[in-house]
Amino acid sequence: MSTAQIKRTDWSGFLFILPYLVIFITMIVIPLFWGINLSFQKADLFGPGEFVGFENYARLFNNKIFLQTVGNTFYFVLLTVPVLVVIGLGLALALNKEAPLQNVLRGIFFSSTILSVTVVTLIWRIIFIPNDGLMANIFTQFGWEPIAFLSDPDWSLISVAIATIWWCLGLPMMLFVAALQQIPKDLYEAASIDGANKMQSFLFITLPSLYKTIVLVTIIQIVMQFQLFGQALLMTQGGPNNTSRSIVMFIYDAGFRRWDIGSAAAASQILFLLILIAAMAQFIVTRKKGEQI
Amino acid sequence: MTLSKVDSQLSASPMAPETTFGRIVRFVTGNVGLMTLMILLSLLMLAPALWTIGLSLKSNEELMMGTDAVFSFPYTLKNYLDIFENSHVFGWLVNSLIVSGGMTFGVLAMSSLAGYAFARLEFPFRRTLFVIILMGLAVPEQAVIIARHQIFSELGLHNTHLGLMLPGMSMPFGVFLMTQFFKAVPKEIDEAAMLDHASRLQIFWKVLLPLTLPAQATLGILTFLQSWNDYFWPLISATDQDMFTLTVGIASSQQNFAQSEGLGFLASQAIFSALPIIIVYVIFQKHIVTAVAGGAVKQ
């Protein structure tokens, strides 16, 4: 074997990643930088025009509707994430055992997760119908004043949140179940020998062992719920009076209905930044778990 | 006095005097009580879906009079038969199958090739490229969707099956998962094959790929599910009714959502479009749960 042959750079491995690399560059890298570029342009349906600096961003921060969508999105995250984490943890603690009944029940609580947003919203719109929906029937049964869930400004986003919680609670539950099953059993045995009761072993063994999973699940849910779109679009169209309009809905409206591409691109960069902060936190938490990437 | 004595003798934990509240707490935390509570909660969880199934089996005319008709006979399949008459639904179902199937195949093929190369081969910029691709995990769809839409317009890819498949194929998670998996396969297996003069491609295809089947299943299920349920991209890319996927199609057909009118028909649409995925879920439940849970942590 000659030295030239040994020293020759081996590019053949490159061929294996080439197909993915082409898709990655055309679908993610170029659109990402092109999108950042668009956010500094005066752009409309006919493509980018002139460079306008931060004008699109400045316009957004003076746009009452955009600021409202930011507020709504944070409110929605607050409405959903704590409930999802608590319910998910509660269900996981109750159904953590590997037994037939527990398996079936876990399967039921997880089942809504696999449905599409279209099906979920259709089901919940049918339930929230003012006069004849399931909710209205229940309210009448108890003699309460029925609420127009989807058209009441105080209730629209809460209704979307209720449907979302029903849709999403399976994932936190399963992540907590996986974490619970990794807690060594002898910890509990040792504690009970030392005379700890159930409450004490929950407080001093279960909760500390779950700490990282709780943080992780919270971050995953924040990132997910921050991207609220389909539920709000299909259940309330963002109404009434924009009370249930989210940031992503604003991007959709600006970018694909009003063709105000500059605003839409700027809004999507702001969303990206907010999600990036959460993603960074997730990266730090998962890396601390001792995984190597 | 006597009563409380009997009570404390019967109670399992005689350390503290039992109050009614204490008894309720113990019943709830005890296994039988807890499971009863869980079964009740699971019924509450199922109630929205059961209600919708009930409505779907009633005629629209009857539901107009009041939805409590759900609890009495007669039931009918007419609403489902009406779906079959709506010619678009079958086209949408086929589109969903083509797009989800194509995307899943693409992701599996490209991620396996790339994962093998990152785990086993030496080539220039290997580490740099891997880190860049990992950073792609942090990029949400919304950050690229405006520019992506413009690029697809330039390329004439809107309203095509390929145009619906391509964005989903870029998800870096697949490459990450397959790289991890190929790394976990012992190197001795490659070396043994190398001694038999197998080529790199043969080692990949005949020796290593079969070993990664569990990871392929996880990744395949996850991709298929995500594609099947995807709403945002098909909504803006497929504007032609014939190119709708089931998710977008069913959403579009309920735009004239009028109070109780056609309520049974609406309900049957929800159930019909959920049916394929529910069947898949019942069969592959364990795999799906693992795939979705695993996917969430790394995305």
Q: What's the domain count of chain A? A: 1
Q: Does residue B63 sit in the same domain as residue B178? A: no
Q: Do A255 and B281 touch (CB under 8 A)?
A: no
Mean confidence (pLDDT) of chain A: 85
Number of cross-chain residue pairs from A and B with Cβ atoms under 8 Å apart: 255
Q: What's the domain count of chain B? A: 2
Confidence band, pLDDT 50/70/90 cuts, at residue B13: very low
Confidence band, pLDDT 50/70/90 cuts, at residue B25: low
Q: Do B118 and A105 touch (CB under 8 A)?
A: no
Confidence band, pLDDT 50/70/90 cuts, at residue B260: very low
Helix or strand run (H / E) with residue A43: strand A41-44
**Of B52, B80, B108, which residue is a domain's last?**
B80
Q: Is the pLDDT assigned to residue B256 strictly greater than 70?
A: no
Residue B272 lies in a domain: yes
CATH at residue B171:
1.10.3720.10
Is residue A118 within 8 A of residue B273, CB to CB? The reply is yes
Q: Does residue B187 sit in the same domain as residue B294? A: yes
**More confident call, A35 vs A101:** A35
Q: Does residue B66 sit in the same domain as residue B173? A: no
Q: pLDDT tens digits for A280-290?
A: 877 777 665 54
Q: Does residue B188 sit in the same domain as residue B260? A: yes
Tell me the shortest Cα–Cα distance from A172 to chain B, in angstroms.
Answer: 8
Residue A5 lies in a domain: no
Q: Does residue B129 sit in the same domain as residue B194? A: yes
Is residue A285 within 8 A of residue A62, CB to CB? The reply is no
Q: Does residue B76 sit in the same domain as residue B33? A: yes
The domain in which residue B142 lies consists of 87-298
**What is the arithmetic mean of pLDDT over B273-289?**
83
CATH at residue A229:
1.10.3720.10
**Of B63, B80, B97, which residue is a domain's last?**
B80
Q: Distance between CA B208 and CA B112 in Å, rounded?
A: 10
Confidence band, pLDDT 50/70/90 cuts, at residue B160: very high
**Of B27, B51, B80, which residue is a domain's last?**
B80
Query: What does the block give as tokens for B104?
Result: 């899943």
Residue B162 lies in a domain: yes
Q: pLDDT tens digits for A41-58?
A: 887 666 557 888 888 899
Q: Is the pLDDT assigned to residue A143 strictly greater than 80?
A: no
Q: Do A234 and B251 touch (CB under 8 A)?
A: yes
Q: Distance between CA A31 and CA B157 in Å, rounded?
A: 15
Residue B209 lies in a domain: yes
Q: Does residue B61 sit in the same domain as residue B136? A: no
Q: Taking CB atoms and an 8 Å cutoff, what residues of chain A touch B225?
A: 114
Residue B9 lies in a domain: no
**What is the arithmetic mean of pLDDT over A135-160?**
82
Residue B3 lies in a domain: no
**What is the arithmetic mean of pLDDT over B266-291?**
83
Residue B244 lies in a domain: yes
CB count, 10 Å around CB of A129? 22
Q: SS3 of A48, please?
A: strand
Q: Do B34 and A94 touch (CB under 8 A)?
A: yes
Residues in chain A: 293
**Please, which residues have CB within 8 angstroms of residue B152's CB and are 6 or more apart in sequence?**
B158, B163, B237
Structure confidence at residue B206 (pLDDT): 84
Residue A131 lies in a domain: yes
Inter-axis angle of helices A156-168 and A64-94, nearest 10:
40
Q: Is the pLDDT assigned to residue A1 strictly greater than 60?
A: no
Q: Which of A17, A38, A124 sits opposite B48 (nearest CB)?
A: A124
**More confident call, B64 vs B244:** B244
Between vectors from CA A206 to CA A205 and to CA A208, what angle results, nearest 5°? 70
Residue A37 lies in a domain: no
Q: Is the pLDDT assigned to residue B53 strictly greater than 90?
A: no
When scoring A9, A15, A84, A122 by the number of chain B Cβ atoms within 10 A, the one with the most, hence best to mutate, is A122
Checking ipTM against 0.90, whether it exceeds it is no
Q: Distance between CA B156 and CA B116 in Å, rounded?
A: 33
Q: Do B146 and A261 touch (CB under 8 A)?
A: yes
B77: closest CA among B254, B258, B272? B272
CB count, 10 Å around CB of A153? 12
Structure confidence at residue B298 (pLDDT): 60
Residue A279 lies in a domain: yes
Q: Does residue B76 sit in the same domain as residue B134? A: no
Inter-axis angle of helices A261-288 and A247-256, nearest 10:
140
Residue A25 lies in a domain: no
Q: Taking CB atoms and an 8 Å cutoff, what residues of chain A touch B298?
A: 286
Q: Does residue B47 sit in the same domain as residue B119? A: no
Residue A78 lies in a domain: yes
Q: Distance between CA B65 and CA B54 in Å, rounded?
A: 15
What percent of chain B has pLDDT above 90?
A: 24
Q: Does residue B30 sit in the same domain as residue B119? A: no
Q: SS3 of A77, please?
A: helix
CB count, 10 Å around CB of A78? 13
When scoring A11, A21, A28 by the number of chain B Cβ atoms within 10 A, the one with the most, hence best to mutate, is A28
Chain B touched by A208 (CB under 8 Å): no
Query: What does the block give as tokens for A83?
Result: 């409930």
The domain in which residue A148 lies consists of 55-288
Structure confidence at residue B257 (pLDDT): 58
Return the amino acid letter for B202.
Answer: Q
Structure confidence at residue A103 (pLDDT): 85
